[in-house]
Amino acid sequence: MRVEESDGRSSGGPGSDREMSAGPSLHIQSGGGEAPHGRGEQAATGPGFEQVVRPHLEFLYGLAMRLCGNRTAAEDLMQDALLRAFRAFPALRNRERPRLWLTRVLTSAFHDRLRRPDVETVALEEDLEFDLFDRITEEDPFPYSDRVHLDFLDLFDDARLLEVLQGLHPNLRAALILAYVYGFTAREIGEIMGRPLGTILAWLHRARKSLERELWEYAMSRRLLTSQAEAGV
């Protein structure tokens, strides 16, 4: 899918270095002079903006929640993304796969709002050394269980998992969520995040290792495991 100047990358964020702490208030005309003609006009042969966007609102909101970790930031991100999408819509030629386009717009808005530099493409050795499977085996936090690894994962309901994901660098978090929560291919994620396939594959690898570490550290810091496991830290 080709996206024509449609991800709003240059429109900038709220001017804050804080992670998703505040967003713009509701101003319909906040485009600030971008694309002054034909905003949101319905293409002669296609559906209008609202028709295109509305079926994907729940998906976009879920993605925003996972990226941001809380409702306020997710709603602000959604608003930002919807405004960007509206401004970019007239230039969008291929409207057959709107979910990919909207995902790109929202992910781009997320990236701009964070203003964080990209994570290093090459994973750090310490990231790669940690192995959650082995750590659980060694610490044996559920000594009477014959499914100790599953027991560990069972500690994480959706709310806890959402918190854990916030510990990942935003690039890694976005790539991981897009791939394993929503099932986008690495190639699609490259298109969404505007990075080469090799970079995405490297990020995914590092994201998985970061997730393993974050799961373990979350469990330890929240004392979710037995004291036997804690003694092994």
Partner 1 sequence: MINCKEAVARLWAYLDRHLERVQERELEEHLGLCRHCCGELEFARQIRERLKGSGAADPVPDEARARFDTLLGGLEKAR
Chain residues that interact with partner 1, rule: CB under 8 A = 26, 28-29, 39-41, 48-50, 53-54, 57-59, 61-62, 65-66, 71, 74-75, 78-79, 82-83, 86, 128, 131-133, 149-150, 153, 156, 158, 161-162, 176-177, 179-183, 186, 201, 204-205, 208, 211-212
Q: Which is nearer to partner 1, 3 or 63 (CB)?
A: 63
Residue 147 CB, shortest distance to partner 1, in Å, is 10
Residue 117 CB, shortest distance to partner 1, in Å, is 25
Residue 233 CB, shortest distance to partner 1, in Å, is 21
Residue 39 CB, shortest distance to partner 1, in Å, is 6
Q: Which is nearer to partner 1, 115 or 166 (CB)?
A: 166
* Direct distance between the N- and C-terminal alpha carbons of the chain, in angstroms, rounded to an integer: 48
Q: Which is nearer to partner 1, 57 or 233 (CB)?
A: 57
Q: Which is nearer to partner 1, 60 or 115 (CB)?
A: 60
DSSP string, the chain: ----S-S-GGG---S--SSS-------TTTTTTSS-SSTTPPPTTS--HHHHHGGGHHHHHHHHHHHHSSHHHHHHHHHHHHHHHHHHGGG----S-HHHHHHHHHHHHHHHHHTPPPPPSSPPHHHHH--HHHHHHHH-S-TT-S-HHHHHHHT--HHHHHHHHTTS-HHHHHHHIIIIIS---HHHHHHHHT--HHHHHHHHHHHHHHHHHHHHHHHHHTT-S-HHHHTT-
Residue 93 CB, shortest distance to partner 1, in Å, is 19
Q: Which is nearer to partner 1, 59 or 140 (CB)?
A: 59
Q: Which is nearer to partner 1, 74 or 114 (CB)?
A: 74
**87 with 35: CB under 8 angstroms?**
yes
Residue 130 CB, shortest distance to partner 1, in Å, is 11
